[in-house]
Structure 1
């Protein structure tokens, strides 16, 4: 009974949601949410169209990537395998061309003659290339010795004839999805065709040859010059950056909602420095957790599928993620300070979409429209991340310079943004959540009304007095009754 009475007492004076006095307000709120539905629909369709288009179109620009065909043997084996490889390439492109623009989904092959050793090929592929099919030096001599010298074939290794060099660390998704299948497909087809032609022309007694040599006189070995093929390699950097970004968004929103008094009472440059310090400190802490998570992960044969995670690489991953999150945090802070609450999701979308696209799609396979996205922090951070873990495609100066340059530029923009935020708060043009005067949700001070901070300062900076009928000044500060 007491609970019922308490509920009735709490509801006393309240009206039903269906009360006629609320109809205009409900109609206004309904129209507002219809407008929000329109904004959300446009945002969703635009974002998904851009993302799906980028992921789909990357397959039609694979022809911009290049695989190398290198003959270090300069003998009959090298010449035969090169001819067989060229035939296999032509055949695969012919099959692909059966579909409209199918040739665009195949990598471009280049025959190179400017390498002298396998080491120089490995170094070039790691730094600049996507992959290479290499006929090793001395392949013809080793095969001739095995075929002609009695009982020598027992020590012959067919796999030493050809080496397929992969560069998975440059971009694991593109490499594992498109380039590795193309490279291994051409390599296997060339080996099979050359072996068949060679055995058909042999006029030797094969009794003294091993069955393995008769079945496969030449073979291949697959080697990665910059391995990054552990289970989560394609998304480890992207997921780390996104998770860190979500952990930065919360403090940014809280900072906006809880610092109105600081904006009203504190010097502008101190507000700005405090904001930059908060973002940098929080981003560095979150990045430390990400680097520790990377240290805790050990997938199957991790050490063979990436470089060892040493103390130096741990520190490099930490600082890379810290730079990325700081830059992204500064970018979001500028938007959050100026946008109304309903549009803050747009700022997040404008941040996440280009960064995801640039990370999943390399520049070589991106349409022209998407090129501007590669100036973002996620892309340059991913390049650094992959280099740290695999050693592939070193562009350290460029990537670090871009991220630090963006960080400095966004910090400078934040200086102006915090000034605008301070002005609109003090002038009463905006309230604490960010609604501007004229909005139905605006809850700031009325026009020409002093800001809360200004009223508080005036009360405590000068003694207040109450004059009674006898003109006895009563102090509000020290309790002096004036008697």
Structure 2
């Protein structure tokens, strides 16, 4: 029967898996896979250790970030809230889990503070100008307006600098400390509060329960639903799409290395990476524009054509640098190592987008040189205007691209050398491996042409009787015909 699993008509004369004749083949294959298993275990643990080491203690290293305290009130409310916040932060049981608090006297207005936080900072606590006067007027009944305790202070955050770090660690620590200071101020104020006969009824409950409060202001908002992972998945999925094209090129490029000039092979490979990255970058920018929405916050930057092209070419630069790096390895690596080479690019770059250098161990300062890290900073600046470091980020990504392109030139040179000499075969296996099978003979196995040694016959002189009548001699090959 054609569908029988026990026997097939074409199985006649074939060997079974337990046939002794297969042992010479099974043994080296088994040893090969054992070595590959050991190598894969090592290559898996090393990137994973880098990944988890970079992200698992972000809440501990948050003490390397700064929160600014700006007292624009310069009155009793401002002084008491500032002292209370600093005392609570200093008395925290886990100092490493708290940001550093710095009192700033060089910021003279809300606008200056907002601009500074957007361009340079993480967050700030601002005691608004006139907070003491408004509270005193409400308590003495000298005003007919309804007292709003949230006018006393403003918490400014910069989610555009890093949505995960700010929203998950800095903003909760800031809010927790300010609430504790607010409660302490309320208790002290109500204990000193006198008669409320002159106070407007609408203000009595507020002054007795919550004399001061705060409002939250996101100066560079990047807090739409998928903001924390949008740039990560944009780069990651795009890079995985580029990997497919690179593997396909590696598997079918053997004839190019044998027949085409090296410079042309190198330029062709680099052109494929650039073209693929530009196309995938356009798709990524379109996806971001669809999921972000045009205007999700009154403070958010509007999504314009210029921002679309900025996102497009930022993604293309990042994917080009990563693609050049991968192809420079793919060209010389054997097929079973291609996935491991991909891990060396993907995991460190992914980790660099989930954290910042400030909230990682000092060992990970080399994140500054990764394309995903700089690309994510450009991405966040384009969408929120936060923390502009355009020249630095673009320069690093372009430097990575140039360096990886030079590495691709070197590895394509090595690949061509090994291909035309029969050292590597079409998929990339090398001579001596159990899977090696090259159509090009090994250059040392080629037979050398026999040397033309002179014999005694060559030394003889041939006398021809009528040689004097010939136009030329016999040795010159002209017999006068």
Normalised TM-score (structure 2): 0.87
Residue 157 in structure 1 maps to residue 151 in structure 2? no
Residue 20 in structure 1 maps to residue 12 in structure 2? no
Distance 2:33 2:419 in 1: 26
Contact 2:68 2:103 (C-alpha < 8 Å) held by counterparts: yes
Match of 1:135?
Answer: 127
| Pairwise CA distance, 1:305 | 7.7
Match of 2:472?
Answer: none
Residue 205 in structure 1 maps to residue 205 in structure 2? no
**Partner residue of 1:340 out of 314, 334, 354:** 334
Match of 1:438?
Answer: 432
Ranges in structure 1 where 5+ consecutive residues have no aligned partner: 97-102, 452-483
1:197-227 deviations in whole A, cap 9, x for unaligned? 1222122434533222332222110001111
Contact 1:63 1:108 (C-alpha < 8 Å) held by counterparts: yes
Distance 2:288 2:197 in 1: 55
Match of 2:260?
Answer: 266
Larger radius of gyration: 2
Residue 117 in structure 1 maps to residue 109 in structure 2? yes
1:278-300 deviations in whole A, cap 9, x for unaligned? 10010011111111111111479
1:443-472 deviations in whole A, cap 9, x for unaligned? 113324999xxxxxxxxxxxxxxxxxxxxx
**Partner residue of 2:372 out of 369, 374, 378:** 378
| Pairwise CA distance, 1:365 | 1.6
Residue 302 in structure 1 maps to residue 291 in structure 2? no
1:84–1:368 CA distance, 2 compared to 1 (3 A): closer
| Pairwise CA distance, 1:142 | 1.9
| Pairwise CA distance, 1:11 | 2.3
Ranges in structure 2 where 5+ consecutive residues have no aligned partner: 447-481
Residue 400 in structure 1 maps to residue 400 in structure 2? no
Match of 1:73?
Answer: 73
Distance 2:362 2:234 in 1: 27
Contact 2:164 2:228 (C-alpha < 8 Å) held by counterparts: yes
**What is the 5 A alignment of 1:33-432?**
33-91=33-91, 93=92, 95-96=93-94, 103-150=95-142, 152=144, 154-206=145-197, 208-209=199-200, 210=203, 211-298=205-292, 302-304=296-298, 306-432=300-426
1:394-435 deviations in whole A, cap 9, x for unaligned? 100000011111112211221222122111111111111111
Contact 1:165 1:224 (C-alpha < 8 Å) held by counterparts: yes
Distance 1:57 1:137 in 2: 38
| Pairwise CA distance, 1:35 | 1.0
Match of 2:451?
Answer: none
Which stretch has the larger CA shift, 17-26 or 243-252?
17-26
1:331–1:3 CA distance, 2 compared to 1 (3 A): closer
Which stretch has the larger CA shift, 140-149 or 233-242?
140-149
Q: Determine helix, strand or coil for the equivalent of 1:235.
A: helix
Distance 2:65 2:219 in 1: 17
1:161-210 deviations in whole A, cap 9, x for unaligned? 10000011111111111100111111112222112212221224345332
Q: Determine helix, strand or coil for the equivalent of 1:205.
A: coil
Distance 2:183 2:101 in 1: 19
**What is the 5 A alignment of 1:439-458?**
439-444=433-438, 445-448=440-443
| Pairwise CA distance, 1:306 | 4.3
| Pairwise CA distance, 1:50 | 2.1
1:186–1:206 CA distance, 2 compared to 1 (3 A): farther
Distance 2:293 2:107 in 1: 36
| Pairwise CA distance, 1:357 | 1.9
**Structure number having the greater helix percentage:** 1
Normalised TM-score (structure 1): 0.87
Distance 2:400 2:196 in 1: 71
Contact 2:118 2:219 (C-alpha < 8 Å) held by counterparts: yes
